[in-house]
Amino acid sequence: MKKVAPIETRKSDHIKINLEQDVRSGLTNGLDRYHFIHEALPELDLDKVETSFTLFGKKLAAPILISSMTGGTELAGTINQRLAEAAQELNVAMGVGSQRIAIEDSHQIPTYSITRKVAPNILLFANLGAIQLNSGFGLEECRHAVDMIQANGLFLHLNPLQEAVQAGGDTTFANLAKKIAKICKNLEVPVIVKEVGWGISERTARILAECGVAAIDVAGAGGTSWSQVEMHRAPDDFTRQLAATFVDWGIPTADSVLNVKKAAPGTIIFASGGLKNGLDIAKCIALGATLGGFAGQFLKAAAISTDKVADLVRLTRHQIQVVMFAAGAADLKALRNITLNESS
Ligand SMILES: Cc1cc2nc3c(=O)[nH]c(=O)nc-3n(C[C@H](O)[C@H](O)[C@H](O)COP(=O)(O)O)c2cc1C
C-alpha cells in the first residue's frame, strides 16, 4: 500500500511548492512564434480601445481569468479572499480550486465561500476533478460545489498525468466522457472542462465537444508543471524519478488553442498555461480564445496582498489594451479577427 497524504496536507504542499520551488515545464507556451503586425496608423484613441465583453451573461472589464487554484486550508482561504477582492475591484473572472475537500468536510466551506462574499458581482467558477465522477460524485456534488460559492459556471478539471505520477493518485479515467456529458446536460450552469497544464489535443477537444461542454480551458504546457510539483512532494525516489520524466510533456498552449479551434469549432476557448502577460493573452485571443488566465503568477501575488493581485490585473489589462491599439483592433471582436504572423 503506497503512502497517501491527507487531502489537506496535499493542498498546503501544493501552495508551498508552487511558491518556493521551480515548477516550470521544460516547454514554452508556443506563443513566441506568433507576432502581431504593427499598425503605425491604427486610427484609434488608446483610451477608447474596448477590452470589455460579455461571457455567460456577465459583463467583464477585460478578458482575464484568475485560474482555478485553491481552498481547503486557512492559508488557501486567505489567498482566495485576496484573489476575489481584486477580481471584484477590477471586474475580471475567477475560479476557485477543487472543492472536493469542502464537499467531504463542510468545515472547509468558508475557505471557498469567502470568494462570493467579497466578490458579489464577478463571474465566478466552481471546480471539481472530473475523475471524482468515477468515484461516487455526480450531479448532486456538482450542484453543491456551484451552490457553495453561488458560481456562474463549473470547471471540471482533467489531470490524468498528475494523478498517475503521485503516490496513490486516482487513475481510473475509463468511461468518464459519458459522465461529463451527463453533468453538461443537467447542470443549471455552464460546464467548462479544463486541463491543468498539459493542454488539449484535437481528439480530446472532439470528445469534449460531443459531451456538450460550454467551453474548454486548454491549460496548456509552458507554465506550471504538475509533474514537477509532484516531483517535489514525492515520498520516495521511485515516485520522484517517475514524476521527473514528464518535465517536457504536454501540448503547448498556442497549439492547444489551435487544436480546439480546429476540432471543436464554435466551442468557447479559454487559454491558459504559462501565459506571461497581456501580450500572450492577446495572441491567444487572435488565435481563437475568448479570454486568458494565469494561475501561478496570481498565486505569487496573492501570497503578498490583494493590492499585488490588483496590480497584476491592472497591468495585464493595460498590456492587452496597448496591444490592441498598436495592432489596430478597436475591440475584442476585431482582435479575434486579426491574423498573426507565424515565424518558423
Ligand atoms: C497552487 C495551484 C493550485 C491549483 N489547483 C487547481 C485545482 O484545484 N483545480 C484546477 O482545475 N486547476 C488547478 N491548478 C491549475 C491551474 O488552474 C492552471 O491550469 C495551471 O496552473 C496552468 O496555469 P499557469 O501556468 O498560469 O500556472 C492549480 C494551479 C496552481 C498554481
Please give the average pLDDT of every successive group of 10 residues along the chain, which has 344 residues. 70 95 98 98 98 98 98 97 98 98 97 98 98 97 98 98 96 98 98 98 98 98 98 97 98 98 98 98 98 98 98 98 98 98 91
CB of 301 closer than 6 angstroms to any ligand 1 atom: no
Q: Is the dihedral of CA 239, 241, 245, 250 positive or negative?
A: positive
CB of 18 closer than 6 angstroms to any ligand 1 atom: yes
CB of 70 closer than 6 angstroms to any ligand 1 atom: yes
Residue nearest to atom 10 of ligand 1 (CA): 68
Residue 45 alpha carbon to ligand 1 centre in Å: 36
Listed residue (15, 96, 29, 9) closest to 277, CA to CA? 29
- In the prediction, which pLDDT does 86 show? 99
Residue 62 alpha carbon to ligand 1 centre in Å: 20
**Distance set, CA 68 to CA 154, 160, 234, 258, 304 (Å):** 11, 17, 23, 22, 18
Exposure string of 176-212, with b = 16+ CB inside 10 Å and e = fewer, is: bbebbbbbbeebebbbbbbbbbbbbbbebbbbbbebe
CB of 296 closer than 6 angstroms to any ligand 1 atom: yes
Residue 96 alpha carbon to ligand 1 centre in Å: 10
Residue 67 alpha carbon to ligand 1 centre in Å: 6
Quote the distance between the C-alpha of residue 281 and its chain's center: 13
- In the prediction, which pLDDT does 3 show? 54
CB of 157 closer than 6 angstroms to any ligand 1 atom: yes
- In the prediction, which pLDDT does 7 show? 83
- State the Cα–Cα distance between residues 130 and 177, nearest whole angstrom: 9
Residue nearest to atom 14 of ligand 1 (CA): 69
Residue 200 alpha carbon to ligand 1 centre in Å: 15
What would the grid cell of residue 160 be?
490524468
CB of 219 closer than 6 angstroms to any ligand 1 atom: yes
- In the prediction, which pLDDT does 4 show? 67
What pTM value is reported for the model?
Answer: 0.97
CB of 317 closer than 6 angstroms to any ligand 1 atom: no
